[in-house]
Every structure is written in C-alpha cells, then in structure tokens.
Amino acid sequence: MRHLAWHLHTFRWRALAASVGVFVLAGWYSATRLSSVTEATAWDAWLLSLQGPRPGNLVLLDVTQWWLLYVLFLYLTGDIPNADLLARGEGLLPRLGSRRHWWVGKLAALGILVMAYTAAVLIAILGGAGARLPMTSVIHPEIFGLTRTVEPLSLVVAVFLLVASTLLSLAVLQWFLSILWRNAFQGFLAVMGLMTVSLFLGMSRLVPARWLPGTQSILTWHTLYDAQADFSITWSLLYNTTLLAVLLAVSFKSIVRLDIFSHRAHHT
C-alpha cells in the first residue's frame, strides 16, 4: 500500500515513545510494592502492573495503572483522522482516490501502531520491574491468587492479545465517533466515558463484566483469577474481534458517503 507511509507519518511517534517511558516507572513502582515478598520476580511485578483492578475492590492505584495505558494512547492518536480529513482533506483524499482507500490505510497504520505500542509498553514495564527485582522467568500464582500456574511466555501472548485487541477496538470506536461528530475531543470523551461506565458496572457486578466494552483487558476479572467468573481470555478475544468487525462494517458504510468539511468551515 503506497500511502501507508503517509499514514504512519501522521502519528506522534515521539510523544508515544515518551508515554511508553511512563510504563518503565509503572513497572519499577510495582516492583517496590512487591519488595516485601521474598521470592518475587520482575515477572510478578509485570503482572501486577497489567492485571487491572480487582472486582469489587476499587483501589485507585490499580485503576490508574490499567487506565493509563488506554488514556495515553487514545489521547495521543484521537485527533489524527479529523486532521487528515478536515485540515488536509483537499490535498490528501483526491491523491488517494477514495474515502475507502483512506480509511483502509488509516486502519492498517493504526493496527501497526497498536502492536508496536503494546509491545513497547509490555517491554517497558518488565524493564522497569527488572531494575528492582530479578528477571527470573517465574510468576508466583500465590501472590495473585491465580487459579492455576502460568508460564510467563504464555501469559505474555495472552496479555499482548488482550491489550492490543482492546486498544484497537477502542481506538477505532474513538476515531469513528470523532469523524462522525467532526470533533476529536468529543470522540475521546465518549470512549473514556464508556470505559468508566464499563468499569463501574463491572465492579458493582450490575452487569456481567464480560459484556462490557473495554473491560476485556482487566485480567483480574477473568477465569484465571476467579474460577467462578465465566470470563475466559478466549471469550475476551472473541468479544474484541466481534466489536472490531461491527465497527469496521458500520464505519465503512458511513465513511464512503461522508461529507468532508468542518463545522467552522461551513460557516465561512
């Protein structure tokens, strides 16, 4: 795809790289929380950083650590489609040939970015934790109350897929809403609001957590932590894939007929 280079250049790579630096601190901080546990490893601290808040137990620190990964990414990428369409549209779209080509390229670039960002965050957390704890490739299930023992490598794959698929589906939702409303900040607020509602509904168990968008990346709500939860990692991956497929279908249908103008421009 010839125009992928353009789409990749629209991202704020430096700001995203700096935001990854925050997760070095998060890993290091999780390691300090485990410093009283004799046999704790950097992998334990890594899981502590990524597991998310416990159900029914709203600890601000856990919520913030889980939340930060999504807020930073969504904030730093939220205005990109609107900048392409509303500020650069007349120079960009005719060269691409169609709105559909533009959206395909934008989504492909987003997919690449999500995978790079997720991998960088997971490595940064482990690096930060490794500064205080030994890097021994062991996760202690008793620290977290896991229902079974887990190999770090298989957990890395599961966490990577959960975080990346949640991030991708939320980012596509944010972009689509921003485009429809011609306002990137409204799209960002809508997705943040959705995540907040999901978090509190899931916490209070008013709605089965597995049906709430955004909570698929909260490991502590899954069967791995609670055998009664009926919330497996496979379910979450299927949920995110389905959400993404629905968003793609709806967004393609809307974007091919989209009028490209800003509200400000239509008053001039």
Partner 1 sequence: MFVIQLDAVSKKIHDRLILEDVSLDVPAGAIYGIRGPNGAGKSMLLRIVCGLVIPTNGTVRVFGQVIGKDREFPDHTGALIDAPGFLPHHSGRRNLELLAMIRRQIGPDEVRAAIRRVGLDPDDRRPVRQYSTGMRQRLGLAQAIMEHPKLLVLDEPTRGIDVQGVKDVHALLKALKDEGVTILLTSHDEVETRLLCDEVFLLEGGRLISETVRASDAD
Q: By CB under 8 A, which span of 87-95, 136-144, 165-173, 204-212 interacts with partner 1?
A: 87-95
Of 106, 121, 139, which Cα lies nearest the Cα of 50?
121
- Check residue 6 for interaction with partner 1 (CB under 8 A): yes
Q: By CB under 8 A, which span of 47-55, 96-104, 160-168, 212-220 interacts with partner 1?
A: 96-104
- Helices vs strands, H then E, count in the chain: 11, 0
- Indicate which single residue of 185, 200, 211, 261 sits in contact with partner 1 (rule: CB under 8 A): 261
Distance separating alpha carbons of residues 112 and 98, to the nearest angstrom: 22
- Indicate which single residue of 21, 97, 145, 208 sits in contact with partner 1 (rule: CB under 8 A): 97
Number of residues interacting with partner 1: please give it, by CB under 8 A: 32
- Indicate which single residue of 60, 91, 142, 253 sits in contact with partner 1 (rule: CB under 8 A): 91
Q: How far is the CB of 202 from partner 1 (least distance, A)?
A: 37
Q: How far is the CB of 81 from partner 1 (least distance, A)?
A: 13
Buried-exposed string 241-263: b where 16+ CB fall within 10 A, e elsewhere: eebbeebbeebeeebeebebeee
Q: What is the full DSSP assignment across 57-100?
A: B--HHHHHHHHHHHHHHHHHHTTHHHIIIIITHHHHHHHH--HH
- Indicate which single residue of 89, 152, 202, 214 sits in contact with partner 1 (rule: CB under 8 A): 89
- Check residue 205 for interaction with partner 1 (CB under 8 A): no
- Indicate which single residue of 94, 148, 154, 253 sits in contact with partner 1 (rule: CB under 8 A): 94
Q: How far is the CB of 201 from partner 1 (least distance, A)?
A: 34
Of 31, 26, 52, 13, which Cα lies nearest the Cα of 217?
52
- Check residue 96 for interaction with partner 1 (CB under 8 A): yes
Tell me what percent of the chain is helix, strand and coil, each rounded to the nearest 5.
70, 0, 30
**Interface residue list for partner 1 (CB under 8 A):** 2-3, 5-6, 9-10, 12, 14, 83, 86-99, 257, 259-262, 265-268
